[in-house]
Chain A
Amino acid sequence: MDTPASYFHWGFILISLPNLVVIGGMIVLFAIALVAPFPHAEESEDGSHK
């Protein structure tokens, strides 16, 4: 991890690959959070059924 990072250069945008991975990962994580089904307690044998 101590070797220099590679950089993505497009116009005035110059971003390191590790940073790009973090930002890209965040966008992916947000998108997944939007669509992934969320477990509901009412589906479990919680006893209470409202």
Chain B
Amino acid sequence: MAATSSAEGAAAAPKPKSWTLRVRQAMDRSLPMDHLLPDRQPYYVGSWVYVFGVVTIAALVWVVVSGIVLSFFGPQWWHDSRVGRFFNSLHFWSVQMFFIFMVLHLWGQYFMAGWRNGRALTWMIGVVIFAVSILTAFTGYLSQQNFDGQFIAINAKDAMNSAGIGAFFNVLNFGQMYGLHVMLLPIGVTILVVLHIVMVRVRGVVKPIDPEGGARS
């Protein structure tokens, strides 16, 4: 047992040798179970503005589930079969819901200055999620294999090419866009969203803006 306590005093426990134990203790300190899944919130969490985040998550679940069904049956299915077209519609409308509630959540968090008290990184991850979601939606629109997808490809290539990215990100290449859309980008969005939620749960919801200036970041 390591005996490196420099300050004898109020039970400064020696650091355990086991890395596993140290990781577990760090997790227990920063995100114990009752912080991950609290059954209580500060009394001022009393506005419908607070539900926009969870509704965005719910919409994302519907987007991913409908997307999984679409990818299982392949790109012709959503044009040729009625059920396929229905799942295409489900995917379309849940994406609309996802962006609607994500932006409402952004408006809410902005006017609440949700980045205060050490929460700046949570806000920044949120903006990154917004940007990656737009990229994901973009590759989705390019994967439609219909008139809209054709024109978006032909038009967007000029923007991509002007910035040099077009040399690597070829919007006219269905295989590339589809692969990014069903695999790489959803994984990216999911990881970022989990990170975002964990960060919110670690710190808890931010306190109200205090007019006495007590709540600067």
Direct A–B contact in the complex, CB atoms closer than 8 angstroms: yes
A residues contacting B by CB (< 8 A) are 22, 25-26, 29-30, 32-34, 36, 38, 40, 50
List, in ascending order, chain A residues with CB within 8 A of B51's CB. Answer: 33
Instruction: Decide: A33 and B100 in contact? CB cutoff 8 A.
Output: no
Instruction: Decide: A30 and B100 in contact? CB cutoff 8 A.
Output: no
Return 15 A-B CB contacts under 8 Å, by A number. Answer: A22-B100, A26-B103, A29-B104, A30-B104, A30-B107, A33-B47, A33-B48, A33-B49, A33-B52, A33-B104, A34-B49, A36-B48, A38-B50, A40-B43, A40-B46
A-B pair count, CB < 8 Å, reads 31
List, in ascending order, chain B residues with CB within 8 A of A26's CB. Answer: 100, 103-104
A22 with B52, Cβ < 8 A, contacts A30-B104, A38-B47 known:
no
Instruction: Decide: A22 and B48 in contact? CB cutoff 8 A.
Output: no
Q: How far is the CB of A25 from chain B (nearest CB, A)?
A: 8
Instruction: Decide: B47 and A34 in contact? CB cutoff 8 A.
Output: yes
> With A and B bound together, what is the CA distance between A29 and B215 in angstroms?
28
Which listed residue (A25, A32, A40, A50) contacts B48, Cβ 8 A?
A32
B residues contacting A by CB (< 8 A) are 40, 43, 46-52, 96, 100, 103-104, 107-108
> With A and B bound together, what is the CA distance between A28 and B52 in angstroms?
14
List, in ascending order, chain B residues with CB within 8 A of A29's CB. Answer: 100, 104
Q: How far is the CB of B136 from chain A (nearest CB, A)?
A: 19
> With A and B bound together, what is the CA distance between A22 and B101 in angstroms?
11
> With A and B bound together, what is the CA distance between A30 and B111 in angstroms?
12
Instruction: Decide: A38 and B48 in contact? CB cutoff 8 A.
Output: yes
> With A and B bound together, what is the CA distance between A38 and B49 in angstroms?
10
> With A and B bound together, what is the CA distance between A18 and B108 in angstroms?
24
> With A and B bound together, what is the CA distance between A27 and B51 in angstroms?
16
Q: How far is the CB of A5 from chain B (nearest CB, A)?
A: 13
List, in ascending order, chain B residues with CB within 8 A of A32's CB. Answer: 48
List, in ascending order, chain A residues with CB within 8 A of B46's CB. Answer: 38, 40
> With A and B bound together, what is the CA distance between A34 and B51 in angstroms?
11
User: 15 additional contacts, CB 8 Å, given A26-B100, A26-B103, A38-B50?
Assistant: A22-B100, A30-B107, A32-B48, A33-B48, A33-B51, A33-B52, A33-B108, A34-B48, A34-B49, A36-B48, A38-B47, A38-B48, A40-B43, A40-B46, A50-B40
> With A and B bound together, what is the CA distance between A22 and B96 in angstroms?
9
